[in-house]
Amino acid sequence: MKSATIGGLARNFWKMAGAGNDFLVFFGTATVGGREAETIRRLCRRGTGVGADGVLFVSEKESPGPRKEIRVDYFNADGGPARFCANGTRCAARFAVLRGLADEELVAHTGWGAIGATVRDDGNVTLRLPEPIAIGSSVPTFDPQGRTVEPSAASLTVGVPHLVVFCAGDVEVETLDLAALGPALRRHPALPEGANVNFVSVRGGSRLSVRSYERGVEAETLSCGSGVVASAVVAGAERGQLSPVSVATRSGSALVVGFRLEGSLAHDVTLTGDARVVFEGLLKEEAL
């Protein structure tokens, strides 16, 4: 297997986007040390680099069964590894099918675990997530001055830690200043690893609007797949939203979350949405 180290070498890559969450995708296994982490930071920087929310390394994995398998290694825009990225895994699955590494039904091995994926001809990809997803305890929310405010946020892990904050009263998620609200909650003292923070407005008919402030990017992204899953599951458990839930993201694209609830546990969780190829490119030495 050819290694996909990217420090010091020009490399072929694909730029892909899943519901507005964008990635640089490389074929091969990840060998990322300090030099490569700095390269990832430069490449993901918008304006002076290619621009992306993170980097994916996709490689073939030996399979004991008939279904082909891949390995997906993900790194945030800050160069740090993450166990899981839902939109990134959807893009990796479509990349694998288009590159001939796997068939339309495949298994993607991530830091979270093995995840089933179905890649459709129209570019939509469905993930079947590990079981179960458990809704954790509530934690207080607070404003940028550190003052505790209502409502509280639900904490849960969807591969990586998340907070889900529902907008109170007549406040709409579109009006929030995430640059002000996100950083403190992303480093919530109750969550030692930090968390992605998802702000939610509940709509009628099993529909949500969600905006996400992501750790590792340290900014709002146009979409966060695992954050959408977290928001839909909590909305089902606490707000009576019925599966499947359609979730509008900042990009304007919608993701669909399926689940089956048993108390605070979500089973049979799926995430469906687009995974687009934006362009193919070749990184030059001066970009690295």
pLDDT tens digits, one per residue of 128-149: 999 999 999 899 887 776 666 6
- Residue 156 lies inside a defined structural domain of this protein: yes
Q: pLDDT tens digits for 178-221?
A: 999 999 999 999 899 999 999 999 998 999 999 999 999 999 99
Q: What is the pLDDT of residues 219-248, one digit of tens each?
A: 999 999 999 999 999 999 999 999 999 999
Q: Which is more confidently placed, 36 or 120?
A: 120
Residue 91 known to be catalytic: no
Indicate the number of domains in the chain: 2
Residues 123 and 156 in one domain: no
**Do 97 and 177 lie in a common domain?**
no
Q: Which percentage of the chain shows pLDDT scores above 70?
A: 94
How confident is the model at residue 171, as a pLDDT? 87
1 in any annotated domain: no
Q: Is residue 7 part of a domain?
A: no
Residue 154: is its pLDDT beyond 90?
A: yes
What are 164-168's contacts with CB under 8 Å, separation 24+?
Answer: 164/198, 164/200, 164/227, 164/230, 164/231, 164/234, 164/235, 165/141, 165/197, 165/198, 165/199, 165/200, 166/200, 166/201, 166/202, 166/235, 166/238, 166/239, 167/199, 167/200, 167/201
Is residue 4 in a domain? no
Residues 20 and 69 in one domain: yes
Pick the catalytic residue: 44, 91, 167, 224?
224
Same domain (yes/no): 263, 280: no
Answer with the residue of higher pLDDT: 161 or 68: 161
Residue in 44, 85, 91, 167 annotated catalytic: 85
Residue 77 has pLDDT above 90, yes or no: yes
Residues 153 and 168 in one domain: yes
Span 7-25, mean pLDDT? 88
CATH of residue 68's domain is 3.10.310.10
Residue 8 in this model has a pLDDT that exceeds 80: no
**Do residues 158 and 80 both lie within one domain?**
no
Query: Both 187 and 245 in a single domain?
Result: yes
On whether residue 47 sits in a domain, the answer given is: yes
Q: Which domain holds residue 95?
A: 12-128+275-287
Instruction: Tell me: do 36 and 84 sit in the same domain.
Output: yes
On whether both 263 and 279 belong to a single domain, the answer is no
Residue 98 has pLDDT above 70, yes or no: yes
**What pLDDT shows up at residue 5?**
59
78, 119: one domain: yes
Where is pLDDT greater, at 160 or 149?
A: 160
- In this prediction, residue 198 carries a pLDDT of 96
Active-site annotation holds for 85? yes
pLDDT of 3 reads: 55
- 162 with 267, same domain? yes
